[in-house]
Amino acid sequence: MSHVRRLESWPPPQPRKPMRFLSTDEVERLIEVVPREWKAFVLLAAWGGLRFGEIAALTTDRIDFDRRQVRVEETLSEVAGRLHIGPTKTKASRSVALPAFVMNAIASHVGAWPETPIMVFRSPEGSLVRRSNFRNRVWLPAVRAAGLEPLRIHDLRHIAPKAES
């Protein structure tokens, strides 16, 4: 069986895309063109360093406005077309400190609804936020309008200070 080649993993790992680091000016340019109802989402990604699923699963009871922190305990993922909320990638919760302007944006976003919702971010239909819908309807048009192509939302994680606990 010398002609059989053993693979370490299948499928073979894909090459990693290079990290993109935006300047503060580039982030501000992006925020300017993001639709109003998604500004807090993008600010949280950039200045909190949260993953898409962590932001999409954020609930109002995980926000501490007095301490300017959010507690990341769950993530939203999509498997075979179905959305699931479960533990984070590391399976450990963490508190993330945020600048006042990000907390103000979140407070303004949450305060825009007549009643306090459970999920902080929802689709226009009121359901959970699907990554593909967000990417196609919000992210790609904003990135294009800001002149920042190519850019993944995950790239915003590299902007945030690394002061998590």
In a domain, 97, yes or no: yes
How many whole angstroms separate alpha carbon 26 and alpha carbon 116?
A: 32
Structure tokens at 45: 């990604």
Does any domain span residue 5? no
What is the radius of gyration, based on Cα positions, of the chain? 18
**What strands lie across the sheet with 63-64, from one edge to the other?**
63-64, 69-72, 94-97
Q: Which domain range does residue 64 map to?
A: 24-158
Q: Domains in the chain: how many in total?
A: 1
Residue 10 lies in a domain: no
DSSP 157: G
Residue 140 lies in a domain: yes
Q: Enter the pTM of the model.
A: 0.83
SS3 of 38, please? helix
Proportion of the chain above pLDDT 90, given as a percent: 64
Asked if the structure places residue 138 within a domain, the reply is yes
- pLDDT digit string, tens, across residues 38-78: 999 999 999 999 999 999 999 999 999 999 999 999 999 99
CATH code of the domain containing 120 = 1.10.443.10
Q: Which residues contact 144 (CB under 8 A, 6 or more apart)?
A: none
C-alpha 84/C-alpha 98 separation (Å) is 26
- Using the predicted structure, report yes or no on whether residue 105 has a pLDDT greater than 80: yes
Flag whether 91 is in a domain. Answer: yes
Query: For residues 165 and 69, what is the distance between their CA atoms, to the nearest angstrom?
Result: 11
Other Cβ atoms within 10 Å of 37 Cβ, number: 13
Q: Give domain status of residue 142, yes or no.
A: yes
